[in-house]
Amino acid sequence: MTLAAGSRLGPYEILAPLGAGGMGEVYRGRDSRLEREVAVKVLPEHLAANPDALVRFEREAKAVAALSHPNILAIHDFGSEGGIAYAVTELLEGETLRRRLEGSVLGWTRAVEIAVAMAEGLAAAHSKGITHRDLKPENIFLTSDGRVKILDFGLARVATPAAGAHDAETMTEPGTVMGTPGYMSPEQVRGESARAPSDIFSLGCVLYEMIAGRRAFSRNTASETLSAILRDEPPEMAGSSRQVPAELQRAVTHCLEKNPGERFQSARDLAFALKAVSSSGAVPSPAPDKGIDSIAVLPFANLSRDPEADYLSDGLTESIMNSLARAPGLRVMPRSTVFRYKGKETDPQEAGRDLGVRAVLSGRVILRGETLVVSAELIDVTQQSQLWGERFNRKFADIFAIEEEIAGKISESLRGKLSGEEKKRLARRSTDDSEAYQLYLKGRHAFYKRTVGSLQQGLRYFQQAIERDPDYALAHSGICDSYALLSFVGVLRCRDAWVKCREAANRAVALDEDLAEAHASLAAVRACADWDWQSAGKEFRRAIELNPGYWQAHTWYAILALAPCGRHEEATAEIRKGLELEPLSPAVNHHAAMLFLASRRLDRAIECCRTALEFDPNFALAHVWRGMAYEGLGRFDEAIADLEKADQMFGESFPGSRAALAHALAAAGRRGEAERILEGLLRRAEDRYVDPFWLAYIHAGLGQADPAFHCLDRTLDDQGVTVIMLRYPGLDPLRQDPRFKKLLARLGLPET
């Protein structure tokens, strides 16, 4: 039975489902009397007629109602209506500890904070004679504002005064095992009565898992796990990727004693011991030395329960990387390399060894309305120690301060105290409007995908950012770049797009003369729209001077300004630099493939396309360039297969893929098919814009020089960005015609 939104249980309106477990289905609800949102837990239909289940459900409500502690879920009401038993509790926003552990690692200091809160909550329960009996990460909730809550007292043992030492109210039959394998105490495994020390054992299992990154008693089957709890000791935590204080290791061992009498005898004692560990300070880690000169910032995990929030976790990762890249003497692993780890459970220690860096930063992001929770941990890979870790619980408007603090703390941890000028470079920002910044991050996230739809979406986000902050230079640069790429794929007429590109690029440079992205955007306009190759080179070099790590400045310089002028050696040097900065980036590799096509290094072009597709199989442009390269090598079947794949992926959005396919078909002797594609594009051009370059490309493949030159003249009239492709092998049939030399002269380009 599922309750529909809008249905009611007494005074409570059901709004939406939140989740389900063995003992209940939970819904977001609204208390009409007090006008507040609550959580409504309903006994499932298959248990509603079970007297034992009803007793347990009511027992949990009574057990929680008997408690009033900030670390225990608060219950507001309990009732039954229409045969449906329900309990009403406070509504929590955040995530379970289980989900938190699945997202990324915990630093030992944060693990201790959580364990202290758990111990204090248990102390309150134990003082009322209540034993939880099912403590595990699934039943620990971390709220968005930093609190820790113990959930689910469905298996609780309540010792009444009359029962004395016996739990008469909830007595379990001897030999009955209750709990969750992996977190049960030895006495629970044996079916004996479970008292306070049993919860302490379970808390020790949870604390061990938080610190070591693995479960204390994990075997292939449940029966083997239960046997391990009775007989085995957990592996040493020192074997994990994090160094922890000896006092903390002793505390965990003390929790996990097989004999209940040898454990901490009260949760208060455990809380006191853990607080002492925390107050003693962090593990003394080796002083940062000159060898710590490299770092990998792993993609921050998006734990917001909304995949659309990836823009924030990705954007925060990139912003921190960009800030650290400004710190002198610090090598920061490129985006394309570290983003291989996105969405994967990654041990920072292992990632650091794989990437060959001395330090690794990992983190996670939760966005709930206006609340932003960011946690980060910095690991010294060689010394296997935590250099720094912190949790930020702020309003989203404080995102700039969070980024600056993380970058500053990391840089200081690795390199010592920063100078005033270094701090200023790390804290450099292009807007103070957090909403504009959020829109910019969404824009860049869409822009990176490089599909027609994502480019259009990215442009809209950049424009919205400008509406929020008209002086946001980075967003103006993003607008220019978006229009440029949309004109390349044929969505916009280039002449119209360049007007908007020029306006946005000039505005960006005027707002921030020291912004590399602004100069690179302006350089693209100078090259592709103005054909002012000298001025374009000057702007590209200025961008690289301002930010040598800005890969797009290097690769655009190569394909937009150097390669069209036949300066292939210089272009190759810039492409090589781009590949050094972002070796696995599909965008960088597709730029490299474009250069190698122009310089007739077709095997290299194929290699770059292969790399791009390994990283992103949906990067359709790589199929286009590889198909062209295969055709140039006479490998027509492979060329046609790649270009048909690209055409399927683009559909109607990019005429270039269809034109390249027609060219390859003509080269393979399938002239009729090529002509049919040409006819289709000509009909399409009657209703919507088609860059005449692609029509010229097909005519060249068919050996039709006159219409080819007619279309190339129209491309120049339209200021088509595709003029950068005039040196591609597909136009070789036209190259000896005097009209081709006139085209180059009109563009101000040399003949060779």
Question: pLDDT confidence of 424, banded at 50, 70, 90?
Answer: low
Residue 288: the pLDDT is: 44
Query: CB neighbours (10 Å) of residue 1?
Result: 11
For residue range 631-643, what is the model confidence (pLDDT) as tens digits? 999 999 999 999 9
Question: pLDDT confidence of 421, banded at 50, 70, 90?
Answer: low
For residue range 350-362, what is the model confidence (pLDDT) as tens digits? 888 878 888 899 8
Residues 737, 740: Cα–Cα separation, whole Å: 6
Residue 176: the pLDDT is: 43
Residue 261: the pLDDT is: 85
For 13-18, which contacts have Cβ atoms below 8 Å and span 24 or more sequence positions? 14/40
Question: pLDDT confidence of 1, banded at 50, 70, 90?
Answer: low
Among the listed residues 234, 220, 117, the one whose alpha carbon sits nearest the alpha carbon of residue 186: 234
Residue 284, pLDDT above cutoff 50: no
Would you say how long the chain is, in residues? 752
* Burial grade of 717 (CB within 10 A; 0-12, 13-18, 19 or more): exposed
Backbone angles phi, psi at 21, to 5 degrees: -140, -175
Report which DSSP code applies to 238.
Answer: G
Residue 242, pLDDT above cutoff 60: no
User: Which whole number is the average pLDDT over 468-480?
Assistant: 95
Residue 504: the pLDDT is: 96
Spell out the CATH class of 94-279: mainly alpha
Residue 287: the pLDDT is: 42
Assigned token pair, 152: 């689910």
Task: Indicate the range of 102-106, 565-569, 571-575 predicted with least confidence.
Answer: 102-106
Question: pLDDT confidence of 328, banded at 50, 70, 90?
Answer: confident
CA 81 to chain centre: 44
Task: Indicate the range of 245-254, 271-280, 420-429 predicted with least confidence.
Answer: 420-429
Residue 169, pLDDT above cutoff 50: no
Residues 110, 107: Cα–Cα separation, whole Å: 5
Residue 603, pLDDT above cutoff 90: yes
Assigned token pair, 552: 């797009």
Cα distances (Å, whole numbers) of residue 359 to 103, 104, 110, 194, 319: 20, 16, 19, 44, 18
Beta partners for residue 140, in sequence order: 150
Residue 657: the pLDDT is: 94
Helix, strand and coil percent figures for the chain, each rounded to 5: 55, 15, 30
User: Which whole number is the average pLDDT over 470-488?
Assistant: 93
DSSP-assigned states of every residue in 344-397: S---HHHHHHHHT-SEEEEEEEEEETTEEEEEEEEEETTTTEEEEEEEEEEEGG
* CATH number belonging to domain 585-708: 1.25.40.10
3-state secondary structure of 244: coil
Spell out the CATH class of 294-429: alpha beta
Residues 694, 698: Cα–Cα separation, whole Å: 6
CA 336 to chain centre: 12
Assigned token pair, 583: 């070796």
Give the helix/strand (H/E) hosting 141: strand 140-143
Cα distances (Å, whole numbers) of residue 143 to 90, 278, 287, 372, 571: 12, 21, 35, 12, 52
Give the helix/strand (H/E) hosting 476: helix 473-488
User: Which whole number is the average pLDDT over 210-233?
Assistant: 88
**Residue that has been written with the tokens 């306070």 in this structure:** 196
The answer to whether 340 touches 347, Cβ cutoff 8 Å, is no
Map out the domains of the chain as residue ranges: 8-90, 94-279, 294-429, 585-708
- Higher-pLDDT residue of 231 and 21 is 231
Residue 416: the pLDDT is: 54
Taking CA 255 as the corner, what is the angle to CA 251 and CA 259, rounded to the nearest 5 degrees? Answer: 135
- Higher-pLDDT residue of 23 and 562 is 562
Residue 157, pLDDT above cutoff 70: no
* Burial grade of 9 (CB within 10 A; 0-12, 13-18, 19 or more): buried
The answer to whether 589 touches 622, Cβ cutoff 8 Å, is yes
Task: Indicate the range of 61-65, 134-138, 488-492 predicted with least confidence.
Answer: 61-65
- C-alpha gyration radius of the chain: 32
- Whole-number mean pLDDT of the chain? 85
Give the helix/strand (H/E) hosting 198: helix 196-212
Cα distances (Å, whole numbers) of residue 103 to 301, 352, 473: 6, 18, 34
Report which DSSP code applies to 469.
Answer: -
User: Which whole number is the average pLDDT over 276-280?
Assistant: 74
Residue 87: the pLDDT is: 87
For residue range 545-557, what is the model confidence (pLDDT) as tens digits? 998 888 999 999 9
For residue range 709-719, what is the model confidence (pLDDT) as tens digits? 999 999 999 88
User: Which whole number is the average pLDDT over 712-737?
Assistant: 91
Residue 2, pLDDT above cutoff 90: no
3-state secondary structure of 659: helix
Task: Indicate the range of 147-156, 249-258, 286-295 predicted with least confidence.
Answer: 286-295
Residue 21, pLDDT above cutoff 80: no
Residue 695, pLDDT above cutoff 50: yes
Residues 155, 136: Cα–Cα separation, whole Å: 12
Q: What are the catalytic residues?
A: 134
CA 103 to chain centre: 11
User: Which whole number is the average pLDDT over 307-324?
Assistant: 84
For 404-410, which contacts have Cβ atoms below 8 Å and span 24 or more sequence positions? 404/323, 406/320, 406/361, 406/363, 406/374, 406/376, 407/320, 407/323, 407/324, 409/378, 410/295, 410/320, 410/324, 410/359, 410/361, 410/378
Instruction: Tell me which CATH homologous superfamily contains domain 8-90.
Output: Phosphorylase Kinase; domain 1 (3.30.200.20)
Residues 363, 314: Cα–Cα separation, whole Å: 11
Residue 109: the pLDDT is: 84
- Higher-pLDDT residue of 306 and 734 is 734
Residue 244: the pLDDT is: 77
For residue range 25-84, what is the model confidence (pLDDT) as tens digits? 889 999 988 889 999 988 876 666 677 777 777 776 777 787 889 999 888 888 888 888
For residue range 95-107, what is the model confidence (pLDDT) as tens digits? 899 988 875 567 7
Report which DSSP code applies to 62.
Answer: H
User: Which whole number is the average pLDDT over 364-372?
Assistant: 84
